[in-house]
Amino acid sequence: MLPYISEFIATLLLIAAIAFAKSPVLVVAAFAVAITIGSDLNPAVTLYKYINGKVSKYGALYFIGAQLLAGLCVGLFSKF
């Protein structure tokens, strides 16, 4: 469960930094943190890992779900 939560947090952090940051330095810092904790940040990367057998089918679904949920949360937060 922890890898999926860290995937959600890293993706949320990066998307929020891109959406709300006034400085590109914050975006780079968010990206550095996300990469440091081992996040894929992109469903295409997760799909690539699944095709190459590095992630199970359900693991890939959970990772992609976490990534999409993070994007949805930032999108909803930006509207309200």
Q: What is the pLDDT of residues 42-55, one digit of tens each?
A: 999 999 999 999 99
Note the pLDDT of residue 44.
95
**pTM of this structure:** 0.87
Domain borders along the chain are 2-79
What would the mean pLDDT of 17-36 be, rounded to a whole number?
90
What pLDDT is recorded for position 39? 87
14, 30 in Cβ contact below 8 A?
yes
Task: At 78, list the tokens.
Answer: 């930006």
Contact 37, 4 (CB under 8 A): no
pLDDT at residue 37 greater than cutoff 90: no
Give the integer Cα–Cα distance in Å for 48 and 20. Answer: 29
**CB count in 10 Å sphere of residue 67:** 25
